[in-house]
Amino acid sequence: MSPTKIIANYELLLQCNRQALIGFWSVNLRDEDIFWSDTTRLIHEVEAHFTPDLESAINFFIEEDRPMINEVFHDCYTNQKPYDVSLRIKTAKGNLKHVRAIGQPLFYNDEVVGVHGTFQDISEQIKKENQFKEALLIASEQNYKLKSFNHIISHNLKSTAGNISSLLTLMKMDIPEIEEHELFDKLVKSSNQLTNTLKELNDLLIEDAKIKENKISLNLYHLTNDCFEELEFLAQANQVVLYNQLPKDLTIISNVSFVKSIFYNLINNAIKYRDDRKAESKLEISLLNENKHEVNLSFKDNGMGIDLEKHKDRIFNAYTSFHTNKNIESRGLGLFMVKNQVETLQGRIFIDSDVNKGTHFKVSIPKA
Amino acid sequence: MKKIIIVEDDDIQVFILKKYLSNLNQGTIKVEFFENGLEAINYIKAHLNTPKLLPDKIILDINMPLLNGWQFLTEFHTLEISKDICIDILTSSENPSDIEQAKYYNLQDHYHLKPIHFEEFKILMMD
C-alpha cells in the first residue's frame, strides 16, 4: 500500500471514529506509556494534548464503577482476558456519560506489556434504551390497570347489573300491575341498556385472549348472508335493503368471531343511520379488489352520513356518537369495536362520508 | 329429600335465589346457603361420615372471598366422599381463564352465567 493510501485510510478511520464516537487507547505498563486518541479525548472532554497517567485515567470513571474497571483491567493484564463493559464516566467538564469500554491484552514480542482497546460514548443509546424501558413500564402498568378494570367489569359491574335485571323480573312476578307503570318500563329499558353496554365492553376487553383462537376458512359471501339474516328483522322494520355483491367464492382464512363482528357492526350501523327521506335506504357490500395478501371490501350506504370535516379525528373513538336522533339507540361503541377488531386482524379501515349522501367504509382484511 | 348447597357471597343474589325458591313452591328440595367456599368446604368436611347431610348438588359462585370457587373445587377433590355430588358453576364471569378452568374440571356443561332467569334456575334445581 502506498504511503498516500495509508494516510488516506488512516484519515478515514479517524473520521469513522469521530462519527461513531469510538476512541482508542493503549496502556503500556512496562514503560508507563499511555496513549489516548483524539476521540477518546473528545469523549472525556479534555484539551487537545491531554494525556493522563493510569490513576487519573481510572479516576474519570465514577466512584461506583471504579472497582469494576480495576478488576477487568487487572484481569486482562494478568490473565489475558479481554473485556467489554458498560460503565459511566464523569468528564473533565463534569458531564456524566455512559461508555462502552473494550480492552484486550497488549503484546510486545509475545509478552503482555499492557492493555489496549476502544472507548465508545453510548450515552445516546442508553438514553433511548431508558426511554424505551420507561415506555414499556408505563405500557405494562396501563395493561395491568386495564386487566383490573376488566375484572371490575366482569365481576362487580356485571353481577350488579344482573341483580338489577333479576330484581325487576321478580318485581313483575310479585306485583303484576307494576308493568302498567311508565316508570317500570323505563327502568327495565335502562337495565337492559346497562347489561348490553357491559357485555360489549367485556367482549372488547377479552379480545386479546380471543385472538389466539384458531383461524378458519371463511366464505365472506355466506358470512354476509348470515349477518343479513340475523339483522333481517331490523332491516325490514326500517325498510333498509341489503345488497350482497361479493363473489360467491370469496374466501379468507381468519378469525370468525372478529370478521363476523366487523360485518355485523357495519351492517347494523348502516341500518341505524339510514336516511328515511331516501326513496330506498340501502347498503351495498362489494369487493373492491384483492391481491395475494388481502381483500379490499366496500360497505357503501346512502344514509345520513357523517360530517368528516368536523369529526374525522374522533370517528373511531369509543363513546362517540355523531347523531342526536332520539330514535337511535347508540352507545358509541360500534365503530370503535370495528376498528379495534380490524386492526387486531392486522387489517385497515377507511371512511369516506358526505352528510345526507351516505357513508362508505373500505376495509382491508388479510387473506390469511 | 334432595339437598342442594348454594355457595354465594352476594347478598342480593342470595335474596334473588331465595325468592326464586319460594316461587318454586315445592317441598322436596332442601337448600342451604353458604357465604363463601371456606364455609362450604368446612361443612362438607364436618359431615363426611354422614352422607345424609351431604348435598346432592352444589351451586358454586367463582368470585368469593376467603376461598373462591376454584380453590373450593381443588380442596373438594382431595376429599373422600362416598356420595355422588353434582357441581354447577353460577357466575357472571365470562373470562377465558375461568372458562378454561371449568374445562379442566370437566364442568363446561355445568357453567351457568348470571343473571340466571327463573325458568333456568328451576331446571337447575330440578335436574
| pLDDT average, residue stretch B87-96 | 87
Among A286, A312, A315, A316, residue whose Cα is nearest residue A300: A286
Percentage of chain A beyond pLDDT 90 is: 38
Chain A neighbors of B21, CB-CB under 8 A: none
Q: Residue A35 phi/psi, 5° resolution?
A: -120, 130
| pLDDT average, residue stretch A192-216 | 71
Alpha-carbon distance of B48 to A287, in angstroms, equals: 66
Chain B neighbors of A158, CB-CB under 8 A: 92, 114
Distance from CA of A94 to the nearest CA of B (A): 54
Say how many C-beta atoms besides its own lie within 10 A of residue A232's C-beta. 11
Chain B neighbors of A170, CB-CB under 8 A: 16, 19-20
Contact A202 B94 (CB under 8 A): yes
Alpha-carbon distance of B17 to B23, in angstroms, equals: 10
Among A353, A318, A350, A323, residue whose Cα is nearest residue A337: A318
| pLDDT average, residue stretch A220-246 | 90
Q: Residue A110 phi/psi, 5° resolution?
A: 65, 15
Say how many C-beta atoms besides its own lie within 10 A of residue A331's C-beta. 14
Chain A neighbors of B97, CB-CB under 8 A: 209
Query: Residue A324 pLDDT more than 60?
Result: no
Contact A202 B115 (CB under 8 A): no
Interacting residues of B51 by C-beta distance below 8 A, sequence separation 6+: B82, B83
Helices (H), A152-251: 158-174, 182-205, 207-210, 220-237
List residues bridging with A294 in a β-sheet: A366
What Å distances lie between residue A96 and A86, A137, A139, A169, CA to CA?
13, 24, 28, 70
Provide the pLDDT for residue A159.
85
Q: Residue A21 phi/psi, 5° resolution?
A: 55, 45
Contact A163 B116 (CB under 8 A): no
Provide the pLDDT for residue B50.
86
Provide the pLDDT for residue B64.
86
Q: What would the grid cell of residue B60 be?
A: 358454586
How many residues appear in chain B?
A: 127
Alpha-carbon distance of A257 to A252, in angstroms, equals: 13
Q: What chain B residue is nearest to A162 in terms of C-alpha separation?
A: B115
User: Does this model's pTM top 0.95?
Assistant: no
Chain B neighbors of A166, CB-CB under 8 A: 13, 16, 115-117
Provide the pLDDT for residue B22.
86
Q: What is the pLDDT of residues A76-129, one digit of tens each?
A: 999 999 999 999 999 999 999 999 999 999 988 888 999 999 999 999 888 888
Provide the pLDDT for residue A340.
82
Candidate from A98-107, A136-145, A157-166 with smallest mean pLDDT = A136-145
Q: What chain B residue is nearest to A195 in terms of C-alpha separation?
A: B115
> Is the CB of residue B47 less than 8 Å away from at least one CB of chain A?
no
Percentage of chain B beyond pLDDT 90 is: 30
Percentage of chain A beyond pLDDT 70 is: 91
Q: What is the pLDDT of residues A325-361, one digit of tens each?
A: 544 555 456 788 888 888 888 899 999 999 889 999 9
Q: What's the DSSP call for residue A243?
A: E
Q: What would the grid cell of residue A261 be?
A: 363482528
Contact B95 A154 (CB under 8 A): yes
**Per-residue confidence band for A266, with pLDDT thresholds at 50, 70 and 90:** very high
* pLDDT greater at residue A19 or residue A170: A170
| pLDDT average, residue stretch A52-56 | 88
Rg (CA), chain B: 14
| pLDDT average, residue stretch A55-62 | 91
3-state secondary structure of B42: helix
Query: Residue B7 pLDDT more than 90?
Result: yes
3-state secondary structure of A29: coil
Decide if A232 contacts A264 (C-beta within 8 A): no
Say how many C-beta atoms besides its own lie within 10 A of residue A194's C-beta. 17
Cα atoms found within 13 Å of the Cα of residue A49, Cβ hemisphere only: 0
Which residue in B10, B92, B118 has the most chain A C-beta atoms within 10 A of its own C-beta, making it the best mutation to test that interface? B92
Q: Which residues 153-192 of A are in CB contact (within 8 Å) with B?
A: 154-155, 158-163, 165-167, 169-170, 173
Alpha-carbon distance of A231 to A263, in angstroms, equals: 11
Alpha-carbon distance of A246 to A286, in angstroms, equals: 5
> Is the CB of residue B115 less than 8 Å away from at least one CB of chain A?
yes
Alpha-carbon distance of A202 to A205, in angstroms, equals: 5
In terms of DSSP bridges, do strands A294-301 and A358-366 run parallel, antiparallel, or are they unpaired? antiparallel
Provide the pLDDT for residue A195.
84
Residue A155 host element (H or E): none
Provide the pLDDT for residue A212.
54
Alpha-carbon distance of A189 to A329, in angstroms, equals: 11
Alpha-carbon distance of B72 to B31, in angstroms, equals: 19
Provide the pLDDT for residue A92.
92
Which residue in the block uniquely carries the three cell numbers 342526536?
A324
Alpha-carbon distance of A43 to A89, in angstroms, equals: 9
> Is the CB of residue B95 less than 8 Å away from at least one CB of chain A?
yes
* pLDDT greater at residue B67 or residue A144: B67
* pLDDT greater at residue A20 or residue A298: A298
The ipTM, to two decimals, is 0.78
**Per-residue confidence band for A213, with pLDDT thresholds at 50, 70 and 90:** low
Q: Which amino acid is at B18?
A: K
